Structure 1
């Protein structure tokens, strides 16, 4: 039996958070959540929304699964309607859409490759056609391709990693920026790798460092408009990106070297995004929240 630790508190609503995982590998990024064992935990049933995002419209890239799915569910509980942008993970996206709709909020799915130069225009156009406005942008899409050395990183990999992880953030934010009003926000997903710099993730860590700087500069740029820009820097989280990146034996002990001695679950990050997207974070901008 795999080791587990309880969360939430009382035994009547206790769930199990895995400490180790069965070895597993997915050959294609960004990975499929429905293939993972165990499935990531994206919802805290004890999290009750209080209307912090009532009638807000939020665009979430990488919204089909992982952190994006958890954020979508938490935002829906707070009263937001969602636009979930994803590559081609249709089954995962539909699962997230159903979870949001079950809460009673609207959810539009957009299958778009963020490397396309007109992706931002397509997303904004469809969002405005459907909902009429945009209040929140969550730049969350990402890829990582571990390599043993700098020489092993091809130009193609370098271009893909930068294109998805930071250039798409820049292009989509540029397209969205004219639409939010004072009190609205942009939240970027970076990584602890921006500071740690894993030796096998040179290009990935570089993009995550770029996101931190992009967040700071854009926060200064949009402050006069009253739009806040922040970032979240997750550690190892149990998302499809993990088995789609690492060998099966590495996945088995994901997060074991952290202070918590385990990988985090997506639901554990969602409240941070709620804080940064809502009026609870009204005096927070240009910051990176490590988690």
Structure 2
């Protein structure tokens, strides 16, 4: 099989990247835009084509209210014959009493075949509410044995840190069915540098297991990815069935100036077989001010393989190779 390589970075200034390959043969791409003020989708027949595809704005932030500030990390999902985008938004850029942003999670829906039509094709399903009314973000979904599951990051005021990872079953794509179960909280040294963070979950179903990657620590060069693993015939709502890697599975590569790789998603290459990890990364550490407002987290796509036990081996971040 020929080695697969993509231009790196593939798309500049797009953090929290998400690529989905649909049954229509298109790749769909969405990510946080630097202005944090809208949701864009672009599509192409190939991964490389996404770099040159024209973005289509499908939703814009409100002038005021809970969806008026800091639109973060949209993900495009196809569930039950309809399109859904999950994203986080806030009412203000101010911090709350815990010194954190005030994001909550939201969902919009489109029942057209092509999700890149008009903005009015998308309807707002509102906030995806959880029992805790607290900072929450980075929702993703996956289906297993006919059930839909929601995985996200949220602050528990009773637990030290910014966010933990939770899972729940859904009754529909915007409503939880079961009580949230905490799968992971920041606990290791590499998860607690500058900030205590577990966020950006992504789910990969391979080799009889669910691999749930996530990102930890501050969004600068300390950002790194961890992984949880669960057998696909186990109860995914039982935290005891998930095992957690004690060390990062993907992290900065100083030798090649790749810093803070993370907030990944998964897709498959054009051959339909090669698994790909999509992530963002910077090529410098001298960040002025809050790293969240530095726009140069670029989208990178890399193939990965599995070890003899069927566990993903992500290797190191891809050095820049564009001309």
TM-score, length basis structure 2: 0.30
Structure with the larger RCO, 1 or 2 (CA within 8 Å, 6+ apart) = 1
Q: Higher helix proportion, which one?
A: 1
Q: TM-score, normalised by structure 1?
A: 0.32
More strand by share: 2
